[in-house]
Amino acid sequence: MVWALVRVIKRGITNLCSSEPRVFPKSGWESIDPSYFIEEETIPTYRPEKFYPAHIGEIINHRYQIVGKLGYGSSASNRGHAYITLKIYTASTTLTREIEIYNHQKTIQSNHADSHRTHTCLVHPPLGISLDQLTPLLPGQVMTSAMVRATMRNVLAALDFLHTEAQVIHTDLQPNNMLLGIKDDSILSKFEQAELDAPVARKTLEDRTIYTSRPLPISLGTPVLCDLGEARVGTDQQQGDIMPDVYRAPEVILGMTWDYKVDIWNVGMVVWDLLKRRHLFKARDPDPHALLRSPPGEFLARSEKCSQYWNEDGQWKGAAPLPDYSLESREEKLHGDEKQDFLRFLRRTLC
C-alpha cells in the first residue's frame, strides 16, 4: 500500500473547501539509481504489478490530487478541509479485511471508501506522525511516564469502543499504528509547498516512478489508534496467527482460541516500548513465564501444545532455560510509588 496526502480539488461551485489543481515541478529532484531498492521495493513480498503507479500531481477520480507521499506498506499502498489522506491498496480481487471492518462499523460511525479500477482506496482525515516516528525525536528517545499515561488513555478509550460497541478486536496494536492528531492544518499546506520548492528524491523506471516519503513535522493533536487491516469481527473464539512476533500473546503462540484480551496484552507491550525504547520480550522467546511465573492450570488445559513446555503442576520443563530476571529487575527508570503503580498496571495487562 501507499499513503498519500491529497488535496480535494474543485468539483462543483458548492464545494467551498476545494481548490484548483497545483502544477508540480517537472525537474529539480535527486534521481536515485534504478538498481537500488527503496521504500516499498524493500518489502520481501513486493511485486510491482500489484502496486498502483501513483505519481505526485496525479488527479484521482476527478476529485483528489496527490501532493505528496506519506509512507508505504505491504497490503495497501477532516473531509471538510482541503486535505485528506488516501490509502491506495495493492491490486486484489477480494475485498480487504479493513473494508470489511469499516462496513461492519457503518451503523456505529461513518466511514468512506472509494475504488479506482482494481485498486481500492480508503479516504481518511489526515493525521500526523506515528509514535514510532515520534519517540526517536524525544530526549532519550523515550516518552515520559506522563506522556505514556496520556497516550494510553486515548488508546484504551478506542479499544473500549471497539470491544464493547463495535465488537471488534484490533489485533495489531503497536507504536506505528498510533498516530498523532493534527490541530494546526498549516503543517499540511507546508508539506505541499515543500514538494513544490524541493521535490523529493525518486527513481524513475519504465512503467512507474517510486518516490521517497516526505515526513510530516511533529503535531500536537490527540493520539489516534489506526489501521484495522488485521482486525476481527467478534470478540471471542477467534483462531489463527495474529500480531508481530515481539507482541504476540501467549494464547496465540500456543495455538489456542483467543479473544479481545489479546489487545490488552498488546497494551502492556506498547506501554513498555514507549517507556523503554526496547521490547519486553525477544521475538523468539519460548515463554514469558520468567516474568509472569507459573500459568494457571485452566490456561494450560486450553492447548495440548502446553504439555511440551509445562508439567501438570505448571512448572517449566522446556528445553531452553528460563532467564533469571523479573519485571521488577527489568524496570529501572521509575521509582517509588510510580514504579509500583506501573508494574501493577503492567501485570494486569499481561495476565
pLDDT digits (tens, 9 = 90+) for 159-174: 999 999 999 999 999 9
Q: Are both 63 and 137 inside the same structural domain?
A: no
Measured distance CA(104)–CA(93) in Å, rounded: 20
Q: Are both 117 and 242 inside the same structural domain?
A: no
227 found inside a domain: no
DSSP summary character for residue 230: T
Instruction: Name the residue range of residue 115's domain.
Output: 1-126+184-218
228 found inside a domain: no
Listed residue (174, 173, 176, 172) closest to 134, CA to CA: 176
* 4-25 confidence digits (pLDDT tens): 888 887 544 333 355 788 999 9
Residue 160 annotated to the active site: no
Q: Which of 172, 263, 273, 287 is catalytic?
A: 172
Q: What is the pLDDT of residue 92?
A: 59
CATH number at residue 55: 3.30.200.20
Listed residue (176, 175, 188, 184) closest to 216, CA to CA: 188
Q: Are both 24 and 108 inside the same structural domain?
A: yes
Q: Are both 192 and 287 inside the same structural domain?
A: no
Measured distance CA(227)–CA(248) in Å, rounded: 17
229 found inside a domain: no
Q: Are 9 and 58 in contact (CB under 8 A)?
A: no
249 found inside a domain: yes
Q: Are both 332 and 260 inside the same structural domain?
A: yes
Q: Are both 4 and 119 inside the same structural domain?
A: yes
Q: Are both 86 and 145 inside the same structural domain?
A: no
Give the cell for residue 182.
Answer: 493534527
Q: Are both 122 and 134 inside the same structural domain?
A: no
Q: Helices marked H in the chain — which ranges?
A: 97-104, 131-134, 145-160, 186-197, 250-253, 261-276, 289-292, 297-300, 327-330, 336-350
Those residues of the chain that have pLDDT short of 50 are: 11-16, 77-81, 93, 110-117, 286-287
What total of structural domains would you count in the chain?
2
Type of residue at 240: G
200 found inside a domain: yes
Q: Are both 264 and 307 inside the same structural domain?
A: yes
Measured distance CA(155)–CA(172) in Å, rounded: 12
Measured distance CA(301)–CA(313) in Å, rounded: 11
226 found inside a domain: no
